[in-house]
Amino acid sequence: MSRKLRGEAKETGAGVPAADRAWGGRFAGGPAEIMQRINVSIDFDKRLYAQDIAGSLAHCAMLVRRKILTAEDGEAIARGLAHIRGEIEAGSFPFRAEHEDIHLNIEARLGELIGPAAGRLHTARSRNDQVATDFRLWVRDAIDRLERQIQGLQAALIAQAERHAGTIMPGFTHLQVAQPVTFGHHLLAYVEMLGRDRSRLADCRVRLNESPLGAAALAGTSFPIDRDMTAKALGFDRPAANSLDAVSDRDFALEFLAAAAIAGTHLSRFAEEVVIWTSEPYRFIRLSDAFTTGSSIMPQKRNPDAAELVRAKSGRLLGALAALLTVMKGLPLAYGKDMQEDKAPVFDAADTLELALAATAGMVGDLAPDAEAMHRVAASGFSTATDLADWLVRVLGLPFREAHRVAGALVARAEALGVGLAQLPLEEMQRLEPRITAAICDVLTVEKSVASRTSFGGTAPANVTAAAAAARRRFLQ
């Protein structure tokens, strides 16, 4: 056999004879046209090319080491695979639907380049363990990309939190003004959510990092292979322990999609707040032209379309998880062709989450808070009523439930008079609780309220500054 690549590809038409197909020895005729269409996956699984070539190179090296393959064949295969990788990356690789998937496309092209030695690469291997290996490698790479992106978003949030550790804004429950907090404190809440997202992805990466390669179709192989060698070559921690599980497990994909869906939900919650904060009744923040669009009919409009699209993308992530759960829920061991449907939702989810993370990081860096508008709303809605109740407990010794009742009555009186709690006359307060003194006024401003929240995890500006620094150490170093 020549040690050189054989040059130009042999053209193969769509009507490949059944006997020439990878699985064709059992079949006298070719598939129906509709069977060809439903069976082909090359349009989406060609994204696995780098992982497929890496797995084949590791398998080839192991076969040579174990003397299952000659060194000459191994060198020819390695050169051919390197050539194919170059073709794919240059955009000149002849992808063909008649070869069904990325695995057979690469194998067929390898045969065109180096001849019969290409057929020896598949010794002691099945497409079942091959695709399971490729898919794990791809998801592992996707997790690494996403982890870096999430960290970048955390960095943008922490930077804004540091700048606005003392910028007062309303805290909400039920979307009603509840208690004043700081903008920095609010943003750091998302830093914590994203930290958990990174942790979930990291956990998923640990569990997926077992190699299916060598499990073959489902039962292992009679060839004297070294699964530890191929696992190590591909960066896996160990080979998967059970050959049936190795080829049929898609827990790693489901876990990835679950982590992606939760992360997308966090991004959607933040996006919803951006939509609210940029609306006319609030105007808490402003986004530049870079992350807004206009209206085709209303020239005054500035629409937060980036946030709205991030909010919508969470639906695709949730749908991807539901789709793969549905595919997997009724499958007996081991492999079923149903599993061909595992990759499209995972690919789409990874793309969707990467785009949403990039857009969110861009918005976080771009947004400019309006401190005056935030302060105005923070001071409305009797947001310091809890501070009043706490004062009654702390200074007058009232049981909290009694203090809560008195504070509620004072809110009702202030509302009736059309004033805030800080403007309610002392004599009005004393009619409800005679022991109240003028000292109560010290806790009724939003500044005093925020500054008093010094418990661990609280919103006091000094706390927020310290928390932002701690978040830098935890998440960015």
Residues 236-255 have pLDDT tens digits of 999 999 999 999 999 999 99
pLDDT value at residue 44: 87
Helix axis angle, 385-396 to 400-417, nearest 10°: 130
Options 2, 288, 295, 380, the catalytic residue: 295
pLDDT value at residue 5: 55
pLDDT value at residue 463: 97
Res. 7: pLDDT tops 80: no
Q: DSSP letters of 207-251?
A: HH-EE-TT-TTTT--SS---HHHHHHHTT-SEE-S-HHHHHH--H
Q: Which residue has the tokens 């992805």?
A: 201
> Rounded to whole angstroms, how far apart are CA atoms 87 and 94?
9
Options 92, 174, 296, 455, the catalytic residue: 174
Q: Tally the C-alpha atoms within 13 A of residue 385's C-alpha that lie toward its C-beta.
A: 19
174 is catalytic: yes
pLDDT value at residue 211: 98
pLDDT value at residue 375: 96
Assess whether the previous peptide bond of 356 is cis (omega < 30° from 0): no
pLDDT value at residue 42: 87
**Averaged pLDDT, 249-270:** 98
pLDDT tier for residue 299 given thresholds of 50, 70 and 90: low
For residue 333, the 8-state DSSP code is S
Is residue 194 within 8 A of residue 154, CB to CB? The reply is yes
Q: DSSP letters of 119-170?
A: HHTTTT--HHHHHHHHHHHHHHHHHHHHHHHHHHHHHHHHHHHHHTTT-EEE
pLDDT value at residue 115: 96
Question: pLDDT (tens digit, 9 = 90+) per residue, 129-160?
Answer: 999 999 999 999 999 999 999 999 999 999 99
Share of the chain above pLDDT 90, in %: 83
Q: Average pLDDT over the chain, rounded to whole? A: 92
pLDDT value at residue 36: 75
pLDDT tier for residue 41 given thresholds of 50, 70 and 90: confident
Is residue 210 within 8 A of residue 236, CB to CB? The reply is yes
Least confident range of 79-88, 323-332, 424-433: 424-433
Is residue 107 within 8 A of residue 60, CB to CB? The reply is no
pLDDT tier for residue 12 given thresholds of 50, 70 and 90: very low
> Rounded to whole angstroms, how far apart are CA atoms 368 and 302?
15
pLDDT tier for residue 300 given thresholds of 50, 70 and 90: low
pTM beyond cutoff 0.85: yes
pLDDT value at residue 297: 67
For residue 475, the 8-state DSSP code is I
pLDDT tier for residue 354 given thresholds of 50, 70 and 90: very high
Q: Which residue has the higher pLDDT, 51 or 100?
A: 51
